[in-house]
Amino acid sequence: MKKLINDPQNVVAEALLGIEAAHPDLNVDHQHKIIYRADAPRRGKVGIISGGGSGHEPLHGGFVGLGMLDAACAGEVFTSPVPDQMLAATKLVDGGAGVLHVVKNYTGDVMNFEMAAELAAAESGAQVVSVVTDDDVAVQDSTWTAGRRGVGVTVLLEKIAGAAAEQGRSLEQVAEVARQVNANGRSMGLALTSCTVPAAGKPTFELGEDEMELGVGIHGEPGRQRVPMATAREIAEMLVEPVLADLPFTNGDKVIAFVNGLGGTPLLELYVMYNEVNRILTGHGVQVARSLVGSYITSLDMAGTSVTLLKVDDETLSLWDAPVKTPALRWGI
Amino acid sequence: MDDMVSTAGLNQWIRAFAELVAENKDSLTDLDAAIGDGDHGANMHRGLQAAVAALDDTKPATASTLLNKVGMTVVSTVGGASGPLFGTMFLRMGAALGDTAEVSLTQLATALRAGLGGVVARGKAEPGDKTMYDALAPAVDALESAASTGVDKADALKLALAAAENGRDATTPMLARKGRASYLGERSVGHQDPGATTVALLMAAAIRAPL
């Protein structure tokens, strides 16, 4: 294992120190491992918090700031944060208009956020609504599993719901915007290599030089199948076609197209991928209204990519275009 | 009187559970690595060490305060899915027992039944989903039936352990339908469930303590 770390046990704590030092607009509660806006709570504004295991950066801490999240809770690497953290974050950002919890659909995350919401209601009377993302089409048989995983749509949802909250909309309105984003978005990912969890010190799974894991999860969970290495053009087909078929996206739909890197893939390759994705979408008559290309929801050092498509209307696009000022997304300011 | 369980006995039970999880930390992690994300042993170990430290600090005098303290500590320190599930189990047990310094075997069985109810409420598990439920439910059944037929404490706990171990072993051929293991589908078959394994350790701890 070759990593820029001091001690595998201290990776999360030391990264939080770095985030605090690098971003004066953000505060860090080191005891609870919370990154939050320095100006929180904003009176009358719906607070939005998210959180999850570390290792997916910039998700979620890199999306804290104006127009996006008010706070993010960092768990251990690939381990959900505990209810105390979300409870503390909820109290930090509650400006009287209630708090939205954005939760990725993993068993641990869902349960820990649920307990936090119960504790928040009991202790502070804060109004909490939770929205769970579950956009990963690689999980096919969701009746007999823990359900689809929350992946790329989470990034788009945090931006769009964040803009709605910034406009002063009510908790129920912001939650409805968030639900619509989840309902209209689909994703699928592919790994070229495994990731290595610092505390484990060795790759999570073995993948041959000539193999790829199609439909991989962001913690290295296995996907639909292991397939032979292919070109970017073929890979784009393998990812985009199942995503298109699932919603389904059809001729004339407008979308935000998000080509994401999983942590170990260069931007150069992501743009090669984006070109292929764009070509396929054009072929289906799907109109790309906005794009996002880069590594925004990662799996440590995993090489690979995911494609997320979100069907949008003009209202959603105006929320997407609204100003945002966070470490990882910044425009319109 | 021998069939009563004192708060000191419950304290010993939690400590023995922490010891057993520490001794089996690596094998729990290996079981989890095969079908989950490989952190079950380390997470439970961290949480139970914290629970033992909390018992040292607060020296709870009643069954309910003791189990509440353990539950809250587990929820706050374990993380993942195991924290809310085992934490809720202890919290519900504490709530069922009330402020008493010692409890009967029947009360203990009732408390474990409430703990099982908490696990189901939190995790929505059903029989055969390949989860901790599949070891805990038979253990609770065995303890209840032993308590109601007047079996003495030591034998009742042995029956509960045997039921938990049978339930644990029965998870191996099951297809996982909850948690991260469910993403594996057929590939989860042939692996013993780590959560059910930890439940069997909890029952073994009751004998080691002894309760």
- CATH number, domain containing residue A227: 3.30.1180.20
The domain in which residue B38 lies consists of 4-208
Residue B34's domain is classified under what CATH number? 1.25.40.340
Within a domain: A194? yes
Q: Locate the chain A residue with the closest alpha carbon to B78.
A: A82
Confidence at residue B1, expressed as pLDDT on a 0 to 100 scale: 44
Q: Locate the chain B residue with the closest alpha carbon to A76.
A: B79
Does A63 lie in the same domain as A162?
Answer: yes
Does A306 lie in the same domain as A210?
Answer: yes
Q: Which of A168, A184, A200 is the last residue of a domain?
A: A184
- Structural domains in chain B (count): 1
Residue A60's domain is classified under what CATH number? 3.40.50.10440
Q: Give B184 or B167, the one with higher predicted confidence.
A: B167
Q: Identify the active-site residue in A23, A32, A56, A60.
A: A56
And the tokens for A272?
Answer: 């090669």
Q: Which of A135, A154, A184 is the last residue of a domain?
A: A184
What is A16-34 written as a DSSP string? HHHHHHH-TTEEEETTTTE
Confidence at residue A223, expressed as pLDDT on a 0 to 100 scale: 76
- Reply yes or no on whether A56 is catalytic: yes
Does A42 lie in the same domain as A163?
Answer: yes
| Subunit contact A219:B183, Cβ cutoff 8 A | no
Within a domain: A227? yes
Within a domain: A18? no
Angle formed by the axes of helices B153-170 and B133-148, to 10°?
A: 150
| Subunit contact B178:A106, Cβ cutoff 8 A | no
Q: Identify the active-site residue in A23, A32, A101, A219.
A: A219
From the CA of B105, how many Å to the nearest CA of chain A?
Answer: 30
Does A203 lie in the same domain as A136?
Answer: no
The domain in which residue A50 lies consists of 29-184
Does A110 lie in the same domain as A168?
Answer: yes
Q: Locate the chain A residue with the closest alpha carbon to B42.
A: A199
| Subunit contact B83:A76, Cβ cutoff 8 A | no
What lies within 8 Å, CB to CB, of A111 at 6+ separation is: A80, B81, B83, B84, B85, B122, B123
- Reply yes or no on whether A30 is catalytic: no
Within a domain: A249? yes
What lies within 8 Å, CB to CB, of A16 at 6+ separation is: A28, A30, A33, A35, A61, A74
Does A241 lie in the same domain as A175?
Answer: no
Rounded Cα distance between B36 and A217, Å, is 12
Per DSSP, the three-state class of B187 is helix
Work out the number of other CB atoms within 10 angstroms of the CB of residue B22.
14
Of B39, B78, B81, the CB nearest to A107: B81
Angle formed by the axes of helices B133-148 and B105-123, to 10°?
A: 160
**Per-residue confidence in pLDDT tens, chain A, 333 aa:** 899 999 999 999 999 999 999 999 999 999 999 999 999 999 999 999 999 999 999 999 999 999 999 999 999 999 899 999 999 999 999 999 999 999 999 999 999 999 999 999 888 888 999 999 999 999 876 667 788 999 999 999 999 999 999 999 999 999 999 999 999 999 999 999 999 999 888 888 889 999 999 999 998 877 778 999 999 999 999 999 999 999 999 999 999 999 999 999 999 999 999 999 999 999 999 999 999 999 999 999 999 999 999 999 999 999 999 999 999 999 998
**Predicted ipTM?**
0.85
Q: Locate the chain A residue with the closest alpha carbon to B176.
A: A145
| Residues of chain A with C-beta less than 8 angstroms from the C-beta of B38 | 197, 200, 204
| Residues of chain A with C-beta less than 8 angstroms from the C-beta of B187 | 222
A74, A61 Cβ separation under 8 angstroms: yes
Does A105 lie in the same domain as A158?
Answer: yes
Tell me: pLDDT of B64 over 60: yes
Per DSSP, the three-state class of A259 is strand
Rounded Cα distance between B170 and B190, Å, is 10
From the CA of A141, how many Å to the nearest CA of chain B?
Answer: 9
Q: Which of A156, A184, A212 is the last residue of a domain?
A: A184
- What residue has token string 């990776």? A11
- Structural domains in chain A (count): 2
